[in-house]
Amino acid sequence: MDKELLTQEVLRLKAERQAVILAHSYQLPEVQEVADFVGDSLGLAREAQRTRAKVIVFAGVHFMAETAAILNPDKTVLLPDLEAGCSLADSIRPEDVLAWKEAHPEGIVVAYVNTKAEVKALADVCVTSANAVEVVSRLPEDRSIFFVPDMFLGAHVARVTGRKLDLFPGECHVHAGIREEHIQALLEAHPGAEFMIHPECGCGSSCLYLKPDAKMLSTEGMVRHAKRSEAKEFVVATEVGILYRLAKEAPGKTFIPVKPEAVCEYMKKITLEKVYLSLREMRHVVRVPEEVALRARRALEAMVAVG
């Protein structure tokens, strides 16, 4: 089927299945176009929690579909491709968290949402890049904090809040590949542009040294800022899938990727055809064991309530 017919079939099946399609901002343009909601991890979690649909098709990666399943135990959650994983989520094991908790029995575990359900189940609270600073700033100052698994986001949170954090040495391979030299090259080529940098990026504080007025923003923060800013040109340091949404929601403005090769191959495993097949065949159902889901749900609900 061509794209137009596939789109029509997706919309028909979505109505027939009483389904909702939730898509992350890094998804392919044609997938974003059939989605009922496009957003970041926090927005998607909230939308999954409030939807009345019987079926949730998650156009994202596996941990996102798990999050939707945990927050909606009475709904069917589908992931169009089970190979849509996450290198960051794969970097940490439950054993890593348990070892820290044993050494810090009074400590607090803060888990980035980019983790598997088994890790979330051991956390006191989950966060996204959109609300991590606010969540951590509210935590008791007399207790140790273990921030997992992204060390670059954790370093950003520590810098902004002034809190001492124990960081797990995990990273997103796409964002870790965005380095100081990429920022420097774009600074020279586009000196008048505003810079928007995702806090998972490997350049960290060196990016702010090069460009002190750069905005450290989550994906949703980037969209909001681009829409309200008077600037006409933006340099964007994150996965390039967001460029489609930025151009759509802030028309008439120019968005330049810091690194055009910053592509998440896992996000791109979700295609329009796979969304169609997912709805047609009700595949692949994502389930989380109830004993894990029960503990993870507490940490996720705390995340959704903030920011």
Asked if 47 contacts 220 with a C-beta cutoff of 8 angstroms, the reply is no
The verdict on whether residue 87 carries a ligand-binding annotation is no
Q: Do domains 89-172+295-304 and 178-257 have the same CATH topology?
A: yes
Q: Give, in degrees to the nearest 5, the angle at Cα 44 between 41 and 46.
A: 110
The verdict on whether residue 289 carries a ligand-binding annotation is no
Residues 6+ apart with CB under 8 A from 6: 272, 273, 276
How do beta strands 37-39 and 145-148 pair?
unpaired
Q: How many CB atoms lie within 10 A of CB 138?
A: 10
- pLDDT for 139 beyond 80: yes
Give the class (CATH, top level) of 178-257.
alpha beta
Backbone region of residue 37 per phi and psi (left: phi > 0; alpha: psi in -120 to 50; beta: other values): beta
The verdict on whether residue 199 carries a ligand-binding annotation is yes
Q: Is 295 helix (H, G, I), strand (E, B) or coil?
A: helix
The verdict on whether residue 126 carries a ligand-binding annotation is no
The verdict on whether residue 201 carries a ligand-binding annotation is no
Q: What is the DSSP string of 166-207?
A: EE--B--HHHHT--HHHHHHHHHH-TTSEEEE-TT-TTHHHH
The verdict on whether residue 278 carries a ligand-binding annotation is no
The verdict on whether residue 200 carries a ligand-binding annotation is yes
What ranges do the domains of the chain cover? 3-85+267-288, 89-172+295-304, 178-257
Asked if 152 contacts 171 with a C-beta cutoff of 8 angstroms, the reply is yes
Q: Give, in degrees to the nearest 5, the angle at Cα 66 between 64 and 71.
A: 100
pLDDT in tens, 8-24: 999 999 999 999 999 99
Instruction: Assign 1 a pLDDT band (cuts: 50, 70, 90).
Output: confident
Locus of tokens 């100052």: 141
pLDDT in tens, 223-282: 999 999 999 999 999 999 999 999 999 999 999 999 999 999 999 999 999 999 999 999
Instruction: Assign 108 a pLDDT band (cuts: 50, 70, 90).
Output: very high
The verdict on whether residue 198 carries a ligand-binding annotation is yes
CATH number for region 89-172+295-304: 3.40.50.10800
Instruction: Assign 307 a pLDDT band (cuts: 50, 70, 90).
Output: low
Q: What is the DSSP string of 95-114?
A: HHHHHHHHH-TT-EEEEESS
In this structure, is the dihedral angle defined by the CA atoms of residues 291, 66, 279 and 11, taken in order, positive or negative?
Answer: positive
Radius of gyration for the alpha carbons in the chain, expressed in angstroms and rounded: 19
pLDDT in tens, 73-90: 999 999 999 999 999 999
pLDDT in tens, 161-220: 999 999 999 999 999 999 999 999 999 899 999 999 999 998 877 777 888 899 999 999
**C-alpha span between 4 and 27 (Å, rounded):** 18
CATH 1.10.10.10 for the 3-85+267-288 domain, yes or no: no
The verdict on whether residue 264 carries a ligand-binding annotation is yes
The verdict on whether residue 113 carries a ligand-binding annotation is yes
